[in-house]
Amino acid sequence: MKKIIALPCRQLLALALGLSTAIAVYAGDPAPAAANSAGALATLASRVPEKFRQAGKIVVGTSPTYIPLEFKDPETQKLMGLDIDLVEEIGKRLGLKVEWQSQSLDQIINSIDTGRIDIGASVIADIAARRDKTDFVDYFATGTQLFAFADRAKELKTVEDVCGKTVAVNRNGIFFIRLKEVNQSVCVGKGRPEMQFSLTDKTADARMNLMQGRAVAAAASVDSVRFLNEDPKSPDKGKFVLIGKPATVDLAGLAFAKSNAALRDVVAEALASMIKDGSYAKIFSAWNLGYAKVDQVTINTQARQP
């Protein structure tokens, strides 16, 4: 059974969007694998490339600053979150130990390229700009969500309402990329005033800019905003208003070097088996992220080849 852990404010500010007091999130042992035939698991394990079978492990990079996907228990420093549970279950099915390395997102991408890690697991958006050197096994539906404090609910109902306003956003990663696209298509391209951006280096800092009045709205992933605004144990439950639907929708995936196609494919098989037997859904439900599930595993957003 998963336990409940209360995370103090100062740690959450560094981890997620920044909270006022504390939040309770699920933690504990990874979700157990559903019943699988020994033959099916043995077949999966037999397809693991020899290099990894010999090592007995996969080295996985994650950026543990993102509740509820990956973060550290402030008391034990143990890694927790949906991505952690998911990859640990994949490792079990492949007969491999998972060795975790904590890195920034930029470091993860570079470490995949240089071979210092085998997989990147940090809800990394699968976008064309990253596919020159990196392949993705897509498992998570996410999107860039604009949000504001609830007292602006009548003023900010749609993405169009944010045109001409200042939006706090992390300059690194997918959110700023997508907001610039929306600014052109929804605001400037339709004759509306353009969005102004208050740029930060972390999503937590974007939240702080919103709280300090430097912006009227902020952008983060829809899963993170919904978790903070809707989770029954969140002290910030109901404090935000989500501005319309996600400005864009993206798939996120486990990231692999192009040269690691064999490992990529067997991990995709393991994920597909988890979707089929229901263990994938159980992990998502345990973290209140059922709305972010996908129906099938894709590679670089495309259907897998049989």
Q: Domain holding 150: CATH number?
A: 3.40.190.10
Does 174 lie in the same domain as 45?
no
Q: Which two tokens stand for residue 195?
A: 């969005």
Q: Within this chain, do residues 284 and 148 fall inside the same structural domain, yes or no?
A: no
pLDDT band at 249 (very low <50, low <70, confident <90, very high): confident
Domain, as residue range, for 257? 3-142+251-303
Q: How confident is the model at residue 126 (pLDDT cuts 50, 70, 90)?
A: very high
Is residue 19's pLDDT more than 50?
Answer: no
pTM of this prediction?
0.77
Per-residue DSSP letter, 185: I
Phi-psi category of residue 251: left, alpha or beta, with phi > 0 → left and psi -120 to 50 → alpha = beta
**Domain match, 241 and 257 both:** no
Q: Which of 225, 249, 273 is the last residue of a domain?
A: 249
Total structural domains within the chain: 2
Across residues 7-33, what is the average pLDDT?
Answer: 41
Radius of gyration for the alpha carbons in the chain, expressed in angstroms and rounded: 19
Number of H helices, E strands in the chain: 10, 16
Residues 111 and 204 in one domain: no
pLDDT digits (tens, 9 = 90+) for 258-297: 999 999 999 999 999 999 999 999 999 999 899 899 999 9
Closest by CA to 253, choosing from 306, 301, 183, is 301
Cβ neighbors of 171 (< 8 A, separation 6 or more) are: 199, 200, 201
The answer to whether 271 and 280 are in contact (CB under 8 A) is yes
The helix (H) or strand (E) run that includes residue 141 is strand 134-149
